[in-house]
Structure 1
């Protein structure tokens, strides 16, 4: 697990350094646990991961309101004073989250996130857990 996390951190660094104005990149499980990160501190990554769990649940509920949708969240983008937040589905039970400053190229960020998920989506998967343990 530690070796896998180190490899994932390197891949996240590649995303962060290839898109100027990227502040923080986090991979999280659907229940809000940080799996990997690049940039920022661990406490901030943990808070972001926990907040993302609620956000992806809310987005899935909204997606379920579309008549032909499966209720699956693919991408959420939030613009706030000072920057952007991106949350993208990244494999079964895993998500990719990015915080970026307001000068970020939004199109480039979306494309690079999609490329990363397409290349390593199988590695960005969180197995289901029961009582805090992988099933």
Structure 2
């Protein structure tokens, strides 16, 4: 598993800056945790794995729109107890946030976009290569 421990602190501002934020995870497109803030490894890994499926489904739905190229920008799911946000965050990387009820949805979306814009070049996951193949 590739882990960008130096990015954990970057997620702190989002988690601390939006009340009711529960978990913040940075993941690769294939569902591997790259960074997290104030979230256990097990929870972050489960969220990252689930996000891989969600971004894939969102991309498939996006293909039904003209000029979308199947790219998912942001996905928001409202559920009992809170909200889940998934945002594209650089080439092959996604930012995921789970927030409890009472979160300001507009503020969360804005802060996620600001974070991605501010450090987008650092929020990316290069493609992995199979063992035994050259890059």
TM-score, with length taken from structure 1: 0.93
The residue aligned with 1:7 is 6
The residue aligned with 1:116 is 115
The worse-fitting range, judged by mean Cα deviation, of 124-133 and 110-119 is 124-133
The reply on whether 1:24 has 2:30 as its aligned counterpart is no
Task: Tell me how far apart the structure 2 counterparts of residues 17 and 64 of structure 1 sit (CA, whole Å).
Answer: 35
For these two proteins, the number of residue pairs brought into alignment is: 133
The residue aligned with 1:78 is 77
Which of the two has greater helix per residue? 1
Task: Tell me how far apart the structure 1 counterparts of residues 5 and 54 of structure 2 sit (CA, whole Å).
Answer: 26
Q: Tell me the CA shift for residue 134 of structure 1.
A: 9.8
The residue aligned with 2:97 is 98
SS in 2 for 1:98: strand
The runs of 4+ residues in structure 1 deviating greater than 2 Å are 4-7, 131-135
SS in 2 for 1:95: strand
Task: Tell me how far apart the structure 2 counterparts of residues 44 and 134 of structure 1 sit (CA, whole Å).
Answer: 33
Task: Tell me how far apart the structure 1 counterparts of residues 23 and 38 of structure 2 sit (CA, whole Å).
Answer: 5
CA 98–134 in structure 1, closer or farther in 2 if over 3 Å, else same: farther
Residues 59-70 of structure 1 mapped to structure 2, 5 A cutoff: 59-70=58-69
Task: Give the unaligned 5+ runs of structure 2.
Answer: none
CA contact (8 A) 2:5 2:34 kept: no
The reply on whether 1:45 has 2:44 as its aligned counterpart is yes
CA RMSD of aligned residues (A): 1.8
Task: Tell me how far apart the structure 2 counterparts of residues 35 and 19 of structure 1 sit (CA, whole Å).
Answer: 21
